[in-house]
Chain A
Amino acid sequence: MSSPLKNLVFAKINEQMFSVRMYLTIPVLALCIVGSVWGLTDANTVLPADIPLETPMDILFVSSLFVLLSATLAGVIISYDGVSRDRASGVLEVKLSQPCPRRIQAIAMLLGYWLSIGIPVAILNIISYVILATRMDESPAMMDLISHFIATELVVLWYVQFSLLASSFAKDQSSSISIGIGMWFTFTMLWLLVTSVIAGLSGIEVGASEAWIRFEAIMDLFSPNGVYHHLLEARMPQIDRGINPILPFLASIIWTLLPAFIFFNRFERLNP
């Protein structure tokens, strides 16, 4: 990593780590990531619809719902005004007039915001793995942990990318937060509705049919949350939704590279 890039990333992490937003976000993250694993590993926990909680991966899979609710929202909250705040205050004009290439500034911004939220999430995930191993008396498979860890960091990255991209388009703070939260809400709360509507229009009956399960799996590739679940399911052989197992990996590469590419190019042409 070049020196200005490294310095800018560390400065951004330092700034965000000790921000009021982070102080408010950390307890929520701790409650959702660590708390959910703690609760789900309780022997008396019974989930509706007979969802199994037999293996450590089952626990991690179910707790991913809480990760999606907290870590992705935290990513949006931390980075929703990454560009628009500086633009509104005029500081962006000062930064863009510096000799430091815009691409370096954009990469530093993306890495800085991602790691600001990615590091606390990583630490909390590691704590939850320890809790998982301790309370279940069964060590989770290393590959399960690695895939859960990477998938979680990736989904946080995707949301940070969308937020920064949205922030680069927003001219004011209210548009910025609206776009960020709206996007989070769509993928987290409304995606099933979107899937159902499109399925209905395509003549696929919503329910437990094989066609529906496959259709839902395909639609999930177009949602970061869906791809996250696909990545976790890759470590769960009992789940088969009828799509080629390579597709979630391809989708995750596209979800990682495409928004980043668009953001970097957008930043190159950004008019403060």
Chain B
Amino acid sequence: MAKASECILRISDANFSYKLAKPTLKNPFRKLPAAGIREIEIPIFSGEIIGLVGPNGAGKSTLLKSLVGINKFDSVTATIEGLDESNPDKLAQKLREITGHMPEQVRWQGSKSIHAAINEIGMMIGVADKKLKGVLDLVGLGTRESESLDSLSQGMRQRLSLACALLSSPKILVLDEPFNGLDPVASAAFKSLLSKLSKKGVSVIISSHQLETLEGVVDKLALMHKGKILAISEHAQLAKLLGVKRKLVIRGEGEAPNKKFLSKNGIDEEPTIGKTGWKLETTNTSKLDIKKFAEFYRIYHWAMEKPTLTQLLVAATGLDPEEIGLQLVREGSDDLSKIFQEEEE
């Protein structure tokens, strides 16, 4: 991945709130500020990929809409390509000029062809037909441009949305849940495309609930909660900042290590037992001798793992994973199987 260099956009002290209609007899047009984003501080460097992570309702989509000029900030201080701008109207227009936006879910529909649909967007920005075809080829729709929108699968619709985002050759690509509806192969191709764009100097901001899809793709993480960015940094630095330690994961089969043995080795945690064996996770590794461990128990895997995004988010927000409502399938699969086992019994 390209190393960050020039700061393309720096947003500081940005606030935006939706206005909800709350009519009264005295004032039928009364509107009150509702949820939104506040005190946002985010620098975006050329070629870096930022993952925007947060629980549902954290304000991720609102922030992304503001970054692409759809929502106009209520107040903001911004530096865009070296020029200061604090007028929300002017900033919104400038942001639209340098960003490409792929919304969360676009239901492209109707009898018009893929080419006609993207051509309509292309006409807004004066894009030549040759470039349209190039972009369609890039997202894998080049051979299907004459097909009608109604015939597209969800994954194909996502690709079309991405093509629209790329049309204006944006300096910053803003992607809201881009992996929704993509099969694993398309997802891998998508990540590869992001990597290529990043190497060309295009900055990417991705919001995703599928946290595991972001791992290995993003350079930096921005953790959002209740409309604020709690922290933004590289993965390792965030872990350090939030005090989340790397953990040792030991997997084995046969008899699981007992409490006495574990406490002797300075481990407080207990192993979880699944159908295929047991798993032990611990951050207390100072007294642990893995060779000694292996003499007593059958171990087939051990590794130091960096904190997951979910752990970082839990540490940053102070919420339980259940409250956050994230996808914990990968981390908690053993726990889940245990629950199912108990239910069956």
Contacts and interface: CB of A to CB of B under 8 A. Distances in A.
Interface stretch (A26-34, A86-94, A114-122, A204-212): A86-94
Interface stretch (A2-10, A36-44, A53-61): A2-10
B171 to A, nearest CB: 12
Contact of A271 (B71, B106, B108, B164): B71
B107 A89 contact: yes
B106 A101 contact: no
Interface string B95-124: 011011101111111001000100111011
A214 interface: no
A94 B107 contact: no
Given A4-B126, A98-B96, A98-B168, A93 B106 contact: yes
B101 A93 contact: yes
Given A3-B126, A4-B126, A90 B119 contact: no
B120 A98 contact: no
Contact of B70 (A8, A96, A101): A96
A226 to B, nearest CB: 27
Nearest to A89: B107
A11 B122 CA distance: 11
B121 A94 contact: yes
Nearest to A4: B124
B77 interface: no
Interface centre among B69, B70, B71, B165 (most CB of A within 10 A): B70
Interface in A75-116: 88-91, 93-101, 104-105
Interface string B217-252: 000000000000000000000000000000000000
B87 interface: no
B161 interface: yes
B105 A90 contact: yes
A8 B123 contact: yes
Q: Chain B interface: which size bin?
A: 20 to 34
B126 A94 contact: no
B108 A105 contact: no
B106 A90 contact: yes
A90 B108 CA distance: 8
Contact of B101 (A4, A88, A94): A94
Contact of A99 (B71, B108, B123, B125): B125
B119 A11 contact: yes
B68 interface: yes
A98 B121 contact: yes
Contact of A100 (B108, B116, B124, B165): B124
A272 interface: yes
A105 B69 CA distance: 15
A11 B123 CA distance: 9
B124 A93 contact: no
A231 to B, nearest CB: 33
Contact of A97 (B70, B109, B123): B70
A91 B108 CA distance: 7
Contacts of B65: 93, 272
Given A98-B168, A271-B18, A4 B106 contact: no
Contacts of A11: 119-120, 123
A100 B125 contact: yes
B70 A93 contact: yes
A15 interface: yes
B93 interface: yes
A95 B124 contact: yes
B108 A97 contact: no
Contacts of A101: 93
Interface string B172-214: 0000000000000000000000000000000000000000000
Contacts of A3: 126
Interface centre among A4, A8, A94, A104 (most CB of B within 10 A): A94
Contacts of B71: 271
A9 B103 CA distance: 25
Contacts of A271: 18, 70-71
Contacts of B168: 98-99
20 contacts: A3-B126, A8-B123, A11-B119, A11-B120, A15-B112, A90-B107, A93-B101, A94-B101, A96-B70, A97-B70, A97-B101, A97-B103, A98-B121, A99-B168, A100-B124, A100-B125, A104-B124, A105-B124, A271-B18, A272-B65
Given A93-B70, A95-B124, 11 more contacts: A8-B120, A11-B119, A88-B107, A94-B101, A94-B106, A97-B96, A97-B99, A98-B125, A100-B125, A105-B124, A271-B70
